[in-house]
Amino acid sequence: MRATRWTIAIVGGLLILLAIVAGAGSRTATLRQLVIDTLADRLDSEVQLDAFSVDTFPTVHVTGTNLIIRHRGRRDVPPLVSVRSFALDGGLFGFFSRPRRFRTVALTGLQINIPPGFKKDVSGNKADDGKGEDKHPLTAPEKEPSSSPTDTSRTVADDGPAAIVVDTLTADDASLSLIPKRAGKEPKVFAIHRLTMKPLGRAQTMTFEATVTNPIPKGLVKATGTFGPWHREDPGGSPLGGRYTFDQADLGTVKGIGGELTSTGTFDGELNRIGVKGETRTPNFSVDVSGKSVPLQTKFEAVVDGTDGDTYLNAVSASFLNTSLTARGAIVGAEGIKGRTVKLHVKIDDGRVEDVLRLGVKGDAPVMTGRLALHADLNLPAGPQDVMDRLTLEGQFDVAGASFNNPTVQAKLSDLSERARGLDPVATSQKVSSNLRGQFRLERKVLTLREAMFGVPGAAVQMAGSYGLATEALEFDGTVRMQATVSQAAGGGFKSVLLKVVDPLFRRDGAGAVLPIRIRGNRNEPKFGLDFGRTFKRE
């Protein structure tokens, strides 16, 4: 009797299981449509799904291929999501519950394409198609208000019950593409090595972990945080927050600079307006034109448009060697050009000129030392060329207590000071420093000085001209105003007596003498002399 009861129980259990399997099989088409309807509703999208199958023994296993999701059915941009294949796994109780629950979903060949954001006005027309004027503001644009105080279009149906819930989503070797607003620009593509999200399906916040390769500068980003709930009417308004690390980023992937960067920080906001706070450390930052490296540290606060990658730097502080600087600006895409344009306002209140020259001038020893104050506008257009070929830096500078490391230049400067005071340069030789200020423009590796002035005891010099960072060529013209006359500057003796005749030719505007000068040659062998072409011209 006991054997009979066990036999009946086993057979009965098998009959029940077969009935469940048969019932599940008959509902495969229903479940397929449920998947399509759930995704279409949650993502406000048009959904395509090819092959679909359900296996309920010994556990529930659902597979599908060629899943394509187009946000609002848009055909002018790539699909919002495409998946080559997926597999859902769960138990029988979860499968027949409401909502249907699965333990995991594994995605293969996941591609996410974030289209340029656009809003709808009250009439339902597009208010911004993303093709407006190309602008480069120095601050992040203000967030657009909703169309009315009671606007709930972004959250309609987001709070409703989900028909399918998945505890954990995993995707390996996926990709994320940010489609730019501007026509003719290529999307920015991130390789996602590993993505985990949970739970998926409920109208609630999801946690995530992601490991992503950043393309330029190339490096590995690891991020953890929260995402959602998804705003189906405005995906760019979906909340996002968490922490990140950016390890071993190779700055050499940006032509013209080098170093290995590490960054850590936090992010918070919405997909189209992410607030980021962080810091970077680059122990060996370098610019190719000089070939020398310095340790560079920065702290920053920025706003990032996650739908196109535009970044607005609200506050940046950086330090290298004995110099600190602050900056603010924007890093944005440019019409029809690969890459991004950088526009910054840079300020140094109390730095060292030798630190700055170390990055931009060849040679082991800096050309000049002294305290530096600088205000400048930096413009780095997008493009494939070397950074220094694209960089434009224009502004004003002030160097206090400047002295030159080149013995020839310093000797000429000391000689000028002594002669300008009517002293014998041999008997009164001393090292002097000067104060240097002026306007400058750095463009295409050429530094141009305008209205540059420096003073030493007894003389004031005005200069204008250029210095080639790559060629090291010098080409400057200017004037020297001396306290002493020409004859006094000769240092005494018979030569001074003879030169008294020409003193009136050079005496003007209260100065003992005003001499036109020129500097030619190169950084290692500068050549100083009178500009005879201007000697007898009064300006």
The tens digit of pLDDT for each residue in 185-227 reads 677 788 889 999 888 765 678 899 999 888 778 888 999 999 8
Which tokens hold the place of 144? 């657009």
Task: Give the pLDDT of residue 362.
Answer: 75
Task: Give the pLDDT of residue 127.
Answer: 37
* pLDDT per position as a tens digit, 92-112: 777 777 777 889 989 999 988
Is cis: bond before 115, omega within 30 of 0? no
What are 274's strand-pairing partners? 269, 304
Which tokens hold the place of 489? 């500057």
Q: If residue 135 lies in a helix (H) or strand (E), which one and from where to where?
A: none
Measure the CA dihedral 440/444/446/452, to 10°: -10
Q: Write b or e for each residue in 227-255: b if 16 or more Cβ atoms lie within 10 A of its Cβ, otherwise e.
A: bbbbbbbbbbbbbbebebebeebebeebb
Q: For the residues 462-470, what does the mean pLDDT come to?
A: 90
Closest CA to 423 of 496, 505, 530: 496
* pLDDT per position as a tens digit, 370-412: 999 999 999 988 888 888 888 899 999 999 988 887 777 778 7
**What Rg do the C-alpha atoms of the chain give, in angstroms?**
35
* pLDDT per position as a tens digit, 225-240: 998 887 767 777 889 8
pTM of the model: 0.71
Task: Give the pLDDT of residue 12.
Answer: 54
Task: Give the pLDDT of residue 407.
Answer: 78
* pLDDT per position as a tens digit, 269-316: 987 788 999 999 999 998 887 888 899 999 999 998 766 667 899 999
